[in-house]
Structure 1
Amino acid sequence: MTGFRLGYVPGVTPAKWVRLWAERLPRVPLELIQVTAADAPDLVRRGEADAVLLRLPIDRTGLHAIPLYVEQTVVVVPKDHVITAAEEITVDDLADELMLHAQDDVLDWERPPGRLIEERPARTGDAIELVAMGTGLLVVPQSLARLHHRKDLTYRPLTGVPESQVALSWPEAETSELVEHLIGIVRGRTVNSTRGPAPKAPRTPKKAAPKKAAPKKAAPGKKAASNPRQQKPRRRR
């Protein structure tokens, strides 16, 4: 059987699902492909991956997408910044702050907090570098803040802004049996779940018919008992 190619965006950790895949489909190799958030939808449209773990919202043209979980939104700041004194930050707390906005940002902003800096770095990693330089602050999903952790930076939960949603996406034209298996894994279904393709039951070998017992042989020196009906009558003298 051919392998399965699974794309994933930075910050998403598919390790648990990969382990379950290996347990349930040991003969089907799973290839992981890391992809940027901007290129994730086109990865499956071009046929370079069978499915992809990405963040919503996306252009769903030609794609299926099932939400899996929601990520906390945080603001990344230098460790000596004044707002680190609070355990949780609101949008109003950032009203006078200079804010970075990376080009690969997937948060569905209606009105980003603070004053946006005209310079827009291409990727989140580049924006993190600018935060460390004191250029501005950055709002990202918590998994990205952890991925780009630095000793001189920290982050705080941010309320009043959109949360990011991680989803599994695959081509709309085809939902293969392997995709169905992956859907079952990421949704936490058990092997014996009635939803999705059921595992094939192993063939039970047929039991051999019991052999008929062979007639017992007479012990040496003893004559076999004769049938009384077959005995000839003795002649009278």
Structure 2
Amino acid sequence: MTADLDLRKLRYFVVTAETLHFGRAAELLHIAQPVLTRQIRALESELGAALFDRSSRGTELSEAGAALLPEARALLRSARALQRHARRGTRIVVGFMPGLAPAPLIRALRERFPDLEVDVIRTSWDDQVEVVHDGRAELSLVRLPIDRAGVTVVPVLSEPRVAVLSRDHHLAGRDVVTLDDLAGLPLLQDPMAVPELLGTRTAAEARPQPNVEEKLERVVIDSGFVILPRSTALAYPRPDVVLRPVDGLAPSEVALIRAESASSEVLDTAMKIAGSCLLTAGCG
């Protein structure tokens, strides 16, 4: 390439690649279709490769286009994150998973940086890392394991996971349950969240549930169970469920993450003090 890559053309390419229809892509981009066609051709010329295969059957990604698409998405995501970071200045956003409390860390940061503005965003298993990649948050309290590519990870605490059962479940009367007790019972969440049960009939019968509230409803009406970090389970108290320790179940590991490319005095301080703040609910 003899010129710098144009992010606008990359965005045109991504929208067209996702719709595989030049007319529809032009509508979404609020430009005329001939303009879109010219911009895509210009990008192909700059890259020295055809990005789409056009035929009477429609539009398909070429081999080069398919290879470029994930890289283009990542580059646009990074550009949006950079814009957000630049606009925020002395403001940061902290993401947190259900059951995790970022308040002690935020109080500690405000003590050190009195002019700092902090906002929070609740995350899920699906986006607890994504919010850092796309710039919605500078910091995120996550539950491991995660994909660590592109992020800096600082472990901050470990806590037990518990089985959540209906109060009238036949295991509810036990003080502690085992993995063998749970094997064969309906697991009402993504089995990847409980790797200790993978390969058992329990995992094969699992059904993913989109949030904690729905998981708990299924526990009550379906006589199954879910495994949750203790703090998450305690954040959703219900009189019709019980929490039981599980012998042989690994703890839930919590970490604070930021993008590897992000660096500032505030973020550096947050990563250094996170463990002591969250473990003691305050930083001395």
For residues 47-66 of structure 1, give each alpha carbon's deviation from its aligned partner in whole angstroms, at most 9, with x where no partner exists. Answer: 11111100111111111111
Q: TM-score, normalised by structure 1?
A: 0.72
- Structure 1, unaligned runs of 5 or more: 190-237
Q: Identify if the C-alpha distance between structure 1 residues 112 and 29 changes in structure 2 by more than 3 Å, giving closer, same or farther.
A: farther
Which one of 37, 44, 60 corresponds to residue 125 of structure 2? 37
- Pairs within 5 Å for 1:113-152: 115-116=202-203, 117-152=205-240
**Of 90-99 and 2-11, the range deviating more from structure 2:** 90-99
Question: For residues 175-186 of structure 1, what are the structure 2 equivalents within 5 Å?
Answer: 175-186=263-274
Deviation at 1:125, TM superposition (A): 2.2
Q: Secondary structure at the match of 1:179?
A: helix
**1:54 and 2:142 are equivalent in the alignment:** yes
- Residues 57-86 of structure 1 show CA distances to partners (whole Å, capped at 9, x for unaligned) of 111111111111112010001112222222
1:70 equivalenced with 2:158 (yes/no): yes
1:24 paired to 2:112: yes
Instruction: Choose 1 or 2 for highest CA Rg.
Output: 1
1:69 partner letter? L
Q: Is contact 2:169–2:223 with CA below 8 Å preserved after alignment?
A: no
Q: TM-score, normalised by structure 2?
A: 0.61
Corresponding residue for residue 67 of structure 2: none
- The alignment status of 1:111 with 2:198, answered yes or no, reads yes
Cα distance per residue 1:103-132 (max 9 Å; x no partner): 8x6454462766243532222321111001
Counterpart check, 1:156 vs 2:244: yes
Let me know the Cα RMSD of the aligned residues.
2.1
Q: Which amino acid aligns with 1:4?
A: I
Q: Could you tell me which of 238, 243, 258 is aligned with 1:170?
A: 258
Identical aligned pairs, as a percentage?
29
Does 2:189 correspond to 1:101? yes
Question: In 2 relative to 1, CA 98–152 (structure 1 residues): closer, same or farther, beyond 3 Å?
Answer: same
Q: How many residues align?
A: 188
Within 2, Cα distance between the matches of 1:112 and 1:19?
A: 44
Corresponding position of 2:176: 88
The answer to which structure, 1 or 2, has the higher relative contact order (CA under 8 A, 6+ apart) is 1
Per-residue deviation, residues 122-154 of structure 1 (Å, max 9, x unmatched): 223211110011341111111121122211111
- Maintained 8 Å contact 1:77/1:153: yes
Bigger share in helix: 2
Give the unaligned 5+ runs of structure 2: 1-88, 278-284
SS at match of 2:255: strand
Note the C-alpha offset of 1:15: 1.9
